[in-house]
Amino acid sequence: MIVTLTEVSKGRHGSALPPISAEFRSGRASLAVVETEQRPSVLGLIASGRMRPDAGTVAIDGAVDPRTLRQRVALVDAPEVNDPSSGVTVFGIVAEELMFAGRPSSPLATKRALSELEVEKWSRWTIGTVPAIVRIRLLTELAVMRDEVEGVVLTAPDRHGGDPAEWWNRANELAARGYAMLVIAGVASATALGSAADAPEESAADQTEADS
């Protein structure tokens, strides 16, 4: 699967998202760089077929097909969109995601899943208090439980703090399992990752901000 974003933007004169092009494909992790609180979520929504860009195109395997894109690409942890409430427990999040994935979600089934996901020790913790990499690992693993999911858009993992290499390594772990991975983060994280991020895509406005 290949998802290609070509000069997509949102808002008048790109106010919500300046023009940006990016591509992510099965078996590879890609990094897209945008700044400000709102833009990562806007880009994530567009890249996963959940928002129509005002300009530019989003294609999946060469076709503009938002419905298929939504089915096959999961949007994970987008601020103010689908990030879990900070007060919800890890147990509650796992139970809910099991239900959405069409899997048994009884307390016993949830406990079993917690063990398989290696987050038993965090089960009573609220998601807002677990270490950043535990959160990211859990939410991405829950996303790919759905059989139809072939790609993941991980949105603004850098806002949780920690070492960018941790979530970038996580993205590459999923890519090694065949998933198409797009991580959306800020300029500082891209700089910290350096060549490991393999020439990330960056919006024109964010490039200007970084150069100033």
Pairing of strands 28-33, 201-202: parallel
Whether the per-residue pLDDT at 203 is higher than 80: the answer is no
pLDDT score recorded for residue 107: 95
- Helix, strand, coil percentages (3-state) for the chain, rounded to 5, are 45, 25, 35
What DSSP designation does 32 have? E
| Cα distance between residue 128 and residue 133, in whole Å | 12
Which are the contacts of 26, defined by CB distance < 8 A and separation ≥ 6?
A: 1, 2, 150, 151, 178, 179, 180
Helix (H, G, I), strand (E, B) or coil at 3: strand
Q: Which two tokens stand for residue 89?
A: 């427990």
List the 2-10 sheet strands across, edge first. Answer: 17-25, 2-10, 55-60
Whether the per-residue pLDDT at 181 is higher than 70: the answer is yes
pLDDT, one tens digit per residue, over 51-75 is 999 999 999 999 999 999 999 999 9
Q: Which domains does the chain have, with CATH numbers?
A: 2-87+151-211 (3.40.50.300)
For residues 173-182, b (16+ Cβ closer than 10 Å) or e, as one string? ebbeeebbbb
Question: Is 1:60 a contact under the CB 8 Å cutoff?
Answer: yes
pLDDT score recorded for residue 204: 47
Q: Which residue has the higher pLDDT, 206 or 166?
A: 166
Question: Is 20:202 a contact under the CB 8 Å cutoff?
Answer: yes
Question: Is 73:180 a contact under the CB 8 Å cutoff?
Answer: yes
Q: Which residue has the higher pLDDT, 198 or 191?
A: 191
